[in-house]
Structures are given as C-alpha cells and as structure tokens.
C-alpha cells in the first residue's frame, strides 16, 4: 500500500470526525505516529477515537463504510476492556479503531490523564482532530515516570509456576506424539517467558530500557545473553525438535528467574519448583 492511499484514508477519517458531533478527538498512535521509527509497507493505521457515544460506534459499523470500501471488519476488546475495530479496507489498507469513552466536561489532556493507554501514547502520537482545540498532548498529561520498581515475589512465583504447569502439559503431548497440542503449549509457555525476558532486561540495565509490549523489538532490548538464545525456544513441527525447544525454554526460564530473584532478594527456587524443573528435564526425551 502506498503512503498516498493511507493519507487519503486519514483525510476521510479527519473529515468524518469533524462532522460527527459525538467525536471529541482522534489520535494516531503506533508506527505511523512515532517520530523515531519510519513506517513501512506493512504498517497499518492505529487510532484512538474519543467519543461520547461508544455504543453508537460499537453496535453499528455503518460509520466504517463511510471511510472507504470495507473488505473485512471485526470487533474485539482491548486488555482494559474497550471496544476496538480491526478493519481491512480496499487495497489491503488496515486500520485499528480503539473506541474510548469521552466525558464532554473533560478536555483532551484530562482524558489522557485518565486513559489506560498512556504507555502507548508515550511511543508517539499525532492528533488528527481535537474538538477542544488544544494543539498537543504534554508530557504532564501522560504523567508517567520510568522507575525501577521491585518485582513482587508473588508475581515471579506465578509466572514460574505457570511456566512449569504448561511445560508439564507440553511434555505430556510430546510424549504422546500430539504435535499440534504440544506446539500450542510451547506457545503459551513463551507468553510467560516474555515476562521473564522483560524483567531480566530491566535488571540488566537498572531499568534503563524500554521493553515495549508483546515482544515488539525484542532483539533491540533483550539482554545479549538472552537474545542469542531466542532461536532455541522455537521448534519445528517435529517431536524431537519440540522436545529440544522445551529443554531450551526450561533452561532459559530457570536462568532468568534465578537472576531476577537474586536482584530482588526473593527466595528461589522453592523445593517444589526445583523438583519440578529436575523432573521435567529428565522426562523430556525426544520420543522415537
């Protein structure tokens, strides 16, 4: 998709917002709003729409067709629970519309201060439309201080225990030659491994690292000793390779958990965790 086609879509969205009374503001976020990152062919258009009529934009999607010819439109929810439309327009243009509640007595800066998406906005923003007329969003509006907070013991224990439970399931599926389910378990384990990778990167730099979200740009911020091992935790659709990857995941998880626990003065591993690690390592043998 050419940048011109997205510029035309952006103009249509701006015109629609200006003529729709309940739209209070529209902000571009993501790669097309980040000054330090150049967007590419695959960059879609990510927007936050502040509206006083969330239901109108959620229950009915006729408004989307006013923006262009729609190939696909799918409604989902964000982590905090706000509706979000994922739309593919003609020529493959993709736009994500996050629908956020706006109170008319609050200006854009005040809405941002109450927004759960301030971390996203910190990566960059571009205001397409602001009914209040404020020219920009200030750092005070974002109101986020980067600090090296202590990891709670309960949080570390939860991620390690969940990793071990899922690894137990993965070992079972691999041993039973159930490749699909084994791969699914490996994928679920990596979600908890990502938390460990993020926390490990923070302690390796005393908090002076931006770990983004969902593993974005992980090759740029992960600790070098972890980055070089990332290929090892992915497996081909092969039982022996899946067993190898599970071994690598367990080894990496144990190393990072040990480093994080030591830094935060958390007792690790418990006797039960060590016994589970040792047992899994002993039984995860590539089947014949």
pLDDT of 251 > 50? The answer is: yes
Query: In terms of domains, do 42 and 106 share one?
Result: yes
For 204-214, what is each residue's pLDDT tens digit?
998 788 898 88
Note whether 166 and 275 are same-domain residues.
Answer: yes
Q: 169 and 260: one domain?
A: yes
Same domain, 129 and 157: no
Residue 124 pLDDT: 84
Give the pLDDT confidence of 238-248 residue by residue, as tens digits: 999 999 999 99
The last residue of a domain, from among 142, 173, 190: 142
* pLDDT of res. 146: 47
User: Is residue 261 pLDDT above 80, yes or no?
Assistant: yes
pLDDT at site 134 = 63
Model confidence at 3: pLDDT above 90? no
pLDDT more than 90, % of the chain: 69
Q: In terms of domains, do 136 and 26 share one?
A: yes
pTM score, whole prediction: 0.82
CATH number at residue 160: 1.20.120.330
Q: Is the pLDDT of residue 104 over 90?
A: no
pLDDT at residue 79 above 70? yes
Given a contact cutoff of 8 angstroms between Cβ atoms, the answer to whether 172 and 205 are in contact is: no
Give 152-185 pLDDT, tens digit per residue: 899 999 999 999 999 999 999 999 999 999 999 9
Q: How confident is the model at residue 106 (pLDDT cuts 50, 70, 90)?
A: confident
- How far apart are alpha carbons 113 and 117 in whole angstroms? 9
Residue 178 CA to residue 173 CA, distance in Å, equals 5
State the DSSP string of 15-43: HHHHT-TTEEEEEEESTTT-TTS---TT-
Domain extent at residue 48? 3-142
Q: Are 13 and 102 in contact (CB under 8 A)?
A: no
Q: With a cut of 80, say whether residue 285 has pLDDT above it.
A: no
DSSP letter (8 states) at residue 151: P
Phi, psi of 95 (to 5 degrees): -135, 140
**What does the pLDDT read at residue 143?**
62
Please report, for the domain that includes residue 79, its CATH number: 3.30.460.10
Task: Give a yes or no: residue 148 inside a domain.
Answer: no
Same domain for 183 and 103, yes or no, is: no
**Separation CA 286–CA 288 (nearest Å):** 7
């Amino acid at each position: 998709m050419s940048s011109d086609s997205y510029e035309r879509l952006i103009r249509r969205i701006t015109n629609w917002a200006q003529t729709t009374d309940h739209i209070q503001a529209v902000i571009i976020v993501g790669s097309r709003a980040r000054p330090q990152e150049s967007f590419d062919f695959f960059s879609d258009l990510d927007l936050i729409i502040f509206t006083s009529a969330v239901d109108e934009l959620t229950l009915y999607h006729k408004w989307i067709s006013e923006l262009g010819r729609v190939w696909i439109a799918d409604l989902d929810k964000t982590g905090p629970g706000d509706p979000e439309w994922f739309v593919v327009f003609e020529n493959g243009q993709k736009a994500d519309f996050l629908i956020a509640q706006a109170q008319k007595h609050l200006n854009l800066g005040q809405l941002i201060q109450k927004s759960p998406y301030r971390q996203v906005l910190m990566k960059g923003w571009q205001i397409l439309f602001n009914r209040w007329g404020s020219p920009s969003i200030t750092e005070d509006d974002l109101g986020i201080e980067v600090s090296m907070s202590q990891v709670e013991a309960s949080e570390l224990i939860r991620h390690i225990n969940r990793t071990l439970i899922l690894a137990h399931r993965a070992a079972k599926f691999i041993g039973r030659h159930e490749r699909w389910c084994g791969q699914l378990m490996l994928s679920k384990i990596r979600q908890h491994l990502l938390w460990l990778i993020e926390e490990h990167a923070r302690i390796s730099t005393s908090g002076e690292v931006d770990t983004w979200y969902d593993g974005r740009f992980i090759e740029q911020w992960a600790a070098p000793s972890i980055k070089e091992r990332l290929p090892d935790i992915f497996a081909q659709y092969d039982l022996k390779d899946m067993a190898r990857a599970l071994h690598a995941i367990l080894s990496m998880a144990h190393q990072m958990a040990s480093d994080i626990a030591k830094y935060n003065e958390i007792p690790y591993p418990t006797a039960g965790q060590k016994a589970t690690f040792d047992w899994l390592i002993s039984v995860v043998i590539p089947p014949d």
